[in-house]
């Protein structure tokens, strides 16, 4: 919470009034504090993440970095089966149970989701390893070995997602983001640089994935410790109660929703690697990462807005919910518009940080940036759908968009390469965001945009 120092007495009255409001517990104050923390971590994480990826790209070269980026992209896809939507389930129910002080159900939810995700992660990893082994004759040895390491780190990655979701539901935005967005890439870059410069070890895709697992392990333990501190003591003093059917009934449509979302965000890179080569996929993945800077305003807002949507909707406080959504949309727009202009003007220089060969992805970067701009300006429309019980409708919209995305990639990548993949993704982003905004306004009665 913000604190007013003795020096604040010398500040103008409007400034002192603003500081006092920000210390309150109203929707605007809570949102402002949460967004400020989330945005700071997002920016810091983005800078560190870009530096970490630039270090890897420079040390590994385009070919090996392409293999690493291609395999790591598969982590998002495989995590869908491993998490089965339980991360979003935590995001909704932890906030709701805390608001109603249902501590026994909250403890049961934490136990059951972790149990399910561990089992599902191991099963997914085993199946993936078998499939990779069966296809090993068609894949390079570097690609196969890197996939094997990916299978081993899948449980850790999935558990980290659960921990992050629980902390977000508790409105501990900074603690939710720091391990994965700041600590992990920092450690990864330091380990890679140490191997190369101190021990003269060549950094390839396999070693990079091994180092990623070490960094992920450190992030997991730190994040788990922070979650234990953030969780109310009443949770661990209560006997667990379980509502397995309700949780699973909510989670299953969400895993399909998440699958469609991942297809919309990742299938372009995967299809590039399949239709062209992993080197092109590596170049393109850097453009995707940079373009996602566009969505940081949205991400910062959603980190705190998602549990607030769940809590306010559960309390049937629609007036405050609409006020929160409008404040969110204004903040997102203030960030998104200038960043879009900067991305278009200076994106080629950002790509140059990774190496001269990566500048080839600049046209794709501009296309992706425009798509991400529309995505951001749509506001928290996706969470309005999933946090208010309309996840099945959201799933239908996402499914249609995902099918369109795959078809567009299939048609455009062979002819236009990276630019074709970018157009497929941008058009799909615009399509499902417009559908969400229209549905939220007409059927739920909530406006997620400034207009």
pLDDT (tens digit per residue) in 344-401: 999 999 999 998 899 999 999 999 999 999 999 998 898 899 888 888 898 889 889 9
CB-based contacts of 185, cutoff 8 Å, min separation 6: 45, 48, 49, 51, 52, 53, 215
Residue 14 lies in a domain: no
What DSSP letter does each residue of 83-103 carry, written as one string? HTTHHHHHHHHHHHHHHHT-H
pLDDT (tens digit per residue) in 133-154: 999 999 999 999 999 999 999 9
Q: Say whether pLDDT at 251 is over 80.
A: yes
Angle at 385 between CA 381 and CA 391, to 5 degrees: 145
Residue 2 lies in a domain: no
The continuous run of DSSP H or E covering 450 comes out as none
Residue 268 lies in a domain: yes
pLDDT (tens digit per residue) in 15-58: 344 345 445 555 555 555 555 655 677 778 888 988 999 999 99
pLDDT reported for residue 39: 66
Could you tell me what percent of the chain has a pLDDT over 90? 60
Helices (H), 138-277: 141-169, 173-177, 184-193, 205-230, 233-236, 244-275
Residue 153 lies in a domain: yes
Residue 10 lies in a domain: no
pLDDT (tens digit per residue) in 72-105: 999 988 988 899 889 989 988 998 899 889 999 9
Residue 394 lies in a domain: yes
Burial grade of 363 (CB within 10 A; 0-12, 13-18, 19 or more): middle
The C-alpha atoms of residue 380 and residue 34 are separated, in whole angstroms, by 15
Structural domains counted in the chain: 1
The C-alpha atoms of residue 310 and residue 370 are separated, in whole angstroms, by 30
Rg of the chain taking only CA atoms, in angstroms: 22
Query: Which structural domain, as residue segments, surrounds residue 341?
Result: 25-444
And the tokens for 440? 């939220």
pLDDT reported for residue 14: 39
Residue 17 lies in a domain: no
Residue, of 177 and 192, whose pLDDT is higher: 192
The continuous run of DSSP H or E covering 403 comes out as helix 391-416
Q: How many other CB atoms are there within 10 angstroms of residue 361's CB atom?
A: 28
pLDDT band at 3 (very low <50, low <70, confident <90, very high): very low
Residue 114 lies in a domain: yes
């Amino acid at each position: 919470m913000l604190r007013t120092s003795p020096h604040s007495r010398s500040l103008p009255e409007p400034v002192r009034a603003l500081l006092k409001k920000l210390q309150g517990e109203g929707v605007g104050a809570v949102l402002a504090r949460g967004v400020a923390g989330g945005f700071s971590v997002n920016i810091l994480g983005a800078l560190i993440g870009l530096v970490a990826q630039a270090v890897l790209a420079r040390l590994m070269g385009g070919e090996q970095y392409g293999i690493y980026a291609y395999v790591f992209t598969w982590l998002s896809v495989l995590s869908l089966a491993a998490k089965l939507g339980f991360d979003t389930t935590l995001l909704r129910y932890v906030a709701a149970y805390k608001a109603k002080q249902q501590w026994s159900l909250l403890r049961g939810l934490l136990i059951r989701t972790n149990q399910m995700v561990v089992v599902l992660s191991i099963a997914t990893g085993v199946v993936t390893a078998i499939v990779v082994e069966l296809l090993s004759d068609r894949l390079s040895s570097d690609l196969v070995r890197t996939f094997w390491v990916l299978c081993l780190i899948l449980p850790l990655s999935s558990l980290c997602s659960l921990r992050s979701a629980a902390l977000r539901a508790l409105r501990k935005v900074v603690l939710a983001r720091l391990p994965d967005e700041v600590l992990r890439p920092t450690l990864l870059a330091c380990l890679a640089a140490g191997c190369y410069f101190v021990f003269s070890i060549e950094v390839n895709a396999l070693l990079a994935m091994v180092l990623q697992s070490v960094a992920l392990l450190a992030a997991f333990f730190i994040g788990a410790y922070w979650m234990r501190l953030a969780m109310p003591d009443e949770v661990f003093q209560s006997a667990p109660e379980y509502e397995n059917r309700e949780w699973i009934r909510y989670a299953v449509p969400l895993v399909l929703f998440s699958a469609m979302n991942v297809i919309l965000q990742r299938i372009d890179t995967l299809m590039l690697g399949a239709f062209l080569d992993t080197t092109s996929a590596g170049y393109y993945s850097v453009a995707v990462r940079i373009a996602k800077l566009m969505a940081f305003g949205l991400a910062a807002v959603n980190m705190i807005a998602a549990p607030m949507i769940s809590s306010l909707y559960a309390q049937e406080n629609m007036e405050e919910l609409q006020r929160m959504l409008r404040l969110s949309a204004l903040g997102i727009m203030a960030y998104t518009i200038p960043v879009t202009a900067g991305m278009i003007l200076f994106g080629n220089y950002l790509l140059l940080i990774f190496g001269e060969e990566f500048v080839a992805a600049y046209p794709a970067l501009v296309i992706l940036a425009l798509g991400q701009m529309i995505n951001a300006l749509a506001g928290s429309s996706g969470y309005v759908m999933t946090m208010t019980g309309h996840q099945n409708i959201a799933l239908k919209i996402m499914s249609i968009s995902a099918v369109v995305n795959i078809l567009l990639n299939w048609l455009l990548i062979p002819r236009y390469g990276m630019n074709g993949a970018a157009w497929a993704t941008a058009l799909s982003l615009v399509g499902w965001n417009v559908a969400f905004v229209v549905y939220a306004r007409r059927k739920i009665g909530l406006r997620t945009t400034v207009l």
